Amino acid sequence: MAPALTVVGAGHVGSVLGRLFVRHGCFAVHDVLARSAASAQRGADFIGAGRALAIDGAPALLSLQRADVYMLSVGDDQIADACAMLAAAVPLAGAIVFHCSGALASDRLQAARAAGAHVASVHPIRSFADRDAVAAAFGGTFCGIEGDAAALAVLIPALEAIGARAVTIDAAAKTVYHAAAVFASNYVTTVLDAALRAYQAAGMTEAVARELAQPLVAETVANVFRLGAAPALSGPVARGDMATVARQHAAVAAWDDATGQLYGALIAPTAALAARKHGK
């Protein structure tokens, strides 16, 4: 018999992982909890298993079945409360409780640990905007993991069974780890927006600006992942042409002060990267 799994939080992450765990025989989903009965039912339907329960008070909690593993796929600000709810509702001694936050470590599960559970965090490094697409092509997805050895001994084989690539991270650096994804995705988008707006300020349409920037961005990104960041760096800072950098900074600031501040903030770290490129 597969270990019993309870899913707390029936959003895209919990639903996708729940479906994959069931389909690959890792766990048998017993209960699927969400804020509303409708949300819980949608989650259970997507997973293809589990009894839908609304977290709306005592009735649902009193009927909660004991499980071997509890997955908290709720928002970061709800993790501690959801954990405390579980600890008050069911015996957790010997069970595994893990959450899926990228920014928080397993130490947020103190209520479960105090009740005798083994705790961990598992963060799938994917966008879950389209849960059908993610569930259909989850193989190769990296998952940042950390936590108690007893919990990871169960979770790592389950992750490997659904095609994930588990990577152990330092719990003390969990927030920095999550910031890496922000740099690699969100802030890249912000910098690209500055580039597109600057091209448009020079008289181009947005469509032309995108077409012009795309090969430059694609080649730069390819070089970073092929060569490393320092060897891939090019441009005036890499050449040591700080006079050009100063002129650009002034011109951008005159055009748009906020974008000028962004440009200025990037000069020093780019100069440090250039120093690494040249072995200084």
Q: Which residues pair with 144 in a beta bridge?
A: 123, 167
HSE at residue 246, side-chain half, CA atoms within 13 A, is 4
Question: Cα angle at 93 between 57 and 41, to 5 degrees?
Answer: 35
Mean pLDDT on 120-127: 94
Provide the pLDDT confidence category of residue 55 given band limits of 50, 70 and 90: confident
Using CA atoms, how far residue 106 sits from 102, 119, 145, in Å, is 10, 6, 9
Q: What is the pLDDT of residue 61?
A: 65
| pLDDT one-digit tens code per residue, 200-257 | 999 999 999 999 999 999 999 999 999 999 999 999 999 999 999 999 999 999 999 9
Map tokens 């990037």 to a residue.
266
Provide the CATH topology of domain 4-169: Rossmann fold (3.40.50)
| pLDDT one-digit tens code per residue, 74-101 | 999 999 999 999 999 999 999 999 999 9
Domain locations along the chain: 4-169, 176-277
Domain 176-277 indexed as CATH 1.10.1040.20:
yes
Dig out the tokens for 234 from the structure: 């090019």
Burial grade of 1 (CB within 10 A; 0-12, 13-18, 19 or more): exposed
Residue 62 has pLDDT above 70, yes or no: no
What's the whole-number average pLDDT of the chain?
95
Residues 6+ apart with CB under 8 A from 237: 245, 267, 270, 271, 273, 274
CA dist., res. 33 & res. 50, Å (int):
9
| pLDDT one-digit tens code per residue, 157-211 | 999 999 999 999 999 999 999 999 899 989 999 999 999 999 999 999 999 999 9
